[in-house]
Chain A
Amino acid sequence: MATLQSWIEFILALGAPVFVPFIMIVVGLFARMKLKEAVSAALTLGVAFIGMNIVVGFMMDSMGPAARSFAQNTGIQLNIIDGGWTSLATLAWAWPLAFFMFPLQLGLNILMLITKQTNTLNVDLWNVWGKILTAVLVLGVSGSIPLAFIVAGLQVILELKLGDVNQKHIYRLTQIPGVTSTHSMTLFGIILYPLNRLFDYIPGLNKHIDANWLKEKIGVFAENHVMGFIIGGLLGLFASYSLQETLLLGVQAAASLTLFPMVAKLFMQALAPLSDAVSEFMRRRFSGRELHIGLDWPIMAGCNEIWVTAIVLVPVTLLLAAVLPGNNILPFAGIINLSLAVPALIVTGGNLLRMILLGLVTTPVFLYIATYFAPIITNLARQTNALDVPAGQMISWSTLEYPVYRYIFTQVAAGSLLGIVGAIVWLGLFSWYVKDMKKRAQAMADDQL
């Protein structure tokens, strides 16, 4: 027994790029993958960790000094670098208990389907990482592993409920039958919904604006390399770099943003056989019943309102990051705010004006919560050796998904009274959302008769 424990400690001490592949081999064999496949998938996972480490290190090395120079030059302290969702996904998968989130999500989904608490079958096994990240954040704030799993489990239940409620709204937007989105980013809709109701009192907001035309005009700015170059260039300019240095920083920033998804793809390649086997199992288990299939958010990526909203919010986010007192994050890899645009699309039914307005109002929320979580995230990155964050620097994600849920429930886990009051209010808003969105779906159905 003592030797087993010392073995486990030995493997954990090697850091995520080694121990997560070890876990992957065990899980893969358990899911009846062939040994050869399991080893190949596990190694790909290790490569993904090392790859992300290299890109994050490169980003920190190029952006970090520029941010310091920017602070000296302007007096604005933005010492947290935004690593975007790919960095945080790396951090999430590096948690030694990460893989336990699969049985938790599957178990709760099966239980809720059997007891008819939901009609949604979530086959999106990739976004298990969102629940893992929530658990990791709860653990970072409260230190409690049971509470980490409880808050993540609650999230599984809530996203299935939202999958049910949002299904008709998503169908109206995408015209794809039988599917819904179980991505937890819909949790931010709970906060957007009351704001959108307030907008009813402002005249002129129901005007339709053609997002497709705008997307054609400004879509190029959303491409990773272009966006990276612009932000890097701007940073260099305000850091009073020379022209050569500014241009170099621009291309370096473009390289970071281009390489992030290329490397993050390796995580998916490694996990694909596993997630395939699991979703196949789930579908077979419930093949007799008419269910909505829960998928990742990109089923809505054809709605150009999402892209136009996110692009319009880029300069707003940069400006607010510079002027808001107490914000310390420099928005970069996470600047395309899909965490806002996607739930805003659902809540407003694709009303571009309202979506942008919702973004303007809630961007400070994203920035402040990203600032709050930065020391916790940086700490976790160092503990697991998942990401290479140089001493004296911090990493976070400027557009952390469902920031309010994560903030409130980490505070609850830490036993804060304010957190508990917040959670009660939040759950109240949740039930309001569910009730009203159901009513609206019903009204849409009646209209079509």
Chain B
Amino acid sequence: MEFIYYFGDVFTPINFGLLLLGTIGGLILGATPGLSPTMAVALLIPFTFQLEAAQGLILLGAAYTSTVAGGAVSAILLKIPGAPANIATTLDGHAMALKGEGAKALQLSFLSSAVGGVFGVLLLIFLTPVLAQWALAFGPSHLFWLAILGVTVIGSLDSASVVKGLLSGCIGLWLATIGFDDIMGAQRFIFHPSLSGGINIIAALIGLFAIPQVITMFAKGRKNDGTEAIQVQKHPIKSAFSELFRYKRAMGIGTITGSIIGLIPGVGGQIAGLVAYDQSKKFSPDKDKFGTGHPEGLIAAESANNAMVGPSLVPLLTLSIPGSPTAAVLLGGLLIHGIFPGTDLFDNHPDVAWTFINSMLIGQILMCIFGLYVAGMAARVAQVPQSMMAAIVLGLAVFGSYSVQSSMGDVYVMASLGVMMYFLERFGFSAAPLVLGLILGPIAESNFIQGSMIATATDGLAPYFLTGALNLFLIVVVVLSVLYSGYMELRTRRYTSKEEIMG
């Protein structure tokens, strides 16, 4: 309960001002395509040089929390996921915006972000020592199986057919091999210098999601039938609350999945949203509504990606190991003030540590308030005429992919992947499984190589990958997941054939 003692420090005028600045700035940065939470925090580091340690961390903590939530804005309104964390948000969020429910989608996304986020920070406050052990439990073999588990959901994610889902997953896995391989340094499929660093995940995200949409919008613009304007329905905040309580299951699944996955170093937030989305789809009675603008999917994805924020800092604050790229940037922010995170951080610098954590807690709530305030206004974006919208999205896509590492190479990658995806979508393929393949490929590959190197030096491949409680548990889940997908596929096939007979 020590943290309550330090709550006062958050509310001194300067600290609270920084907290507001970080939250509002974070929302804006997060809503800008291409500026991922990691980038936003890195951009703010130089400003903290001039501040005291606790003040600097308040700014960084608030920015981290609100950029993750802010990413939902462009994901919902423009179908551009600003960071991997927001991929699952686009699936139902953008569909809702197209139905004129943009305001509702934004309100639900900020509310569920806040619930997930507060839960995650509370975990960080109360369970840090226990969670640190859990974070360490995942070695290369477990991470490999975890990535394989991710691969098993590819087929069922946002695709009409399992085969097409798996095929686009394979394209993603292949794209992930491009570039210098990080472990051995071998060159793979580099036929242009801009590919030597591999496909940048953020540039790929922007291209795969936004460009097909831009092309479709331009194509529609030629028809000029003028019927495309979307009516934006007003949505009172009160009913957003009651909506949220109606979908308690999605909320719970999202929050818990996000917290657990956020803990695991090296996997982190990239897949938390997607896994939560998939799980809540499997447990929901309205499976068919997912992907068509169903609030459950949106709630699960957004509560998961903010629940991940708190636990993702556990390895950093207790073991001094940054578990995610953003945590690595925050480590820099700590070191610059001579603060070494570790088990004794809470003894040596309790004021800094607790003020930082408290500011994230209050930041979640402030983020929610500001988010709800802008939701109504931002949803009007949908009223912008299609032709103009296409130009704006295209401009943002180019800006976003260039700004990742100030490189035109990423813009070329974004554009070519986008054009490719446009044609793939016309044949019923979908971007989400492709991106999941792109994210999971390197995790599976590098952990398999590392694991097999350790295994050959010790007891051999089979005992290393196939024994141990955690390995066996993950393997069982993988098998169950495959069986479930197969069962669902067979069932839907039977239904369709019956309908065909009836028809």
* A, B bound: no
Q: Which residues of B contact A (CB under 8 A)?
A: none
